A and B are shown apart, each in its own frame.
Chain A
Amino acid sequence: GAGVSQSPSNKVTEKGKDVELRCDPISGHTALYWYRQSLGQGLEFLIYFQGNSAPDKSGLPSDRFSAERTGGSVSTLTIQRTQQEDSAVYLCASSPFQETQYFGPGTRLLVL
């Protein structure tokens, strides 16, 4: 079956621009997570969606980061006014409720 997909695979942007990263979870998975992997910070949790509940945004590093999940499926992570420290690999994962998370291939973001 199809796994978690993410687009784009790579994104290069200029400092100050906005970017949108997309995640398509595994069909039927009610939970969706965003993580960030960077050299300095390792793997860190950003945000969690579960069904129609309000998202857990406790991991978002600043108010420049936001995410939405439409129709309980596709999710978009938006970073406004990008900074060089936002350069990282952004990973999406999905799971059935409280079950094992399966990860997508990630989006590698480079902010120049």
Chain B
Amino acid sequence: AQKVTQAQTEISVVEKEDVTLDCVYETRDTTYYLFWYKQPPSGELVFLIRRNSFDEQNEISGRYSWNFQKSTSSFNFTITASQVVDSAVYFCALSEAGTGANNLFFGTGTRLTVIP
């Protein structure tokens, strides 16, 4: 069965600190996709990144970077030099291409608070 675990429920950091949000997943599919979404206080889920199971290259986008390691079934997300605007709940999610539906299985989210 598929599962996404975000063990960190809440994290607080001081502005300009780096922070890493952990995500561990379980799936029996060999083809799957991993996602990160941001949910700011406004409530809308904002897409951040999508990775497929065959691409383990790390990715950097501005202050954001992602580390995908199949050996540990992890897809961690790092924010460098955090800012107050980064305060939000961050969700890691998995979809299994083998099911055809591609519906997302979400972790329980990590609430990040950046203190000015």
Interface residues of A (CB under 8 A from B): 31, 33, 35, 42-45, 48, 50, 56, 58-59, 89, 91, 93, 95, 98, 100-106
Contacts and interface: CB of A to CB of B under 8 A. Distances in A.
Interface in B34-57: 35, 37, 42-47, 50
Interface residues of B, number: 21
Interface in B72-110: 91, 93, 97, 101-109
Contacts of B107: 42
A93 B112 CA distance: 24
B75 to A, nearest CB: 15
A67 B27 CA distance: 28
A93 B104 CA distance: 10
A89 B39 CA distance: 13
6 contacts: A33-B103, A56-B103, A91-B45, A98-B97, A100-B35, A101-B104
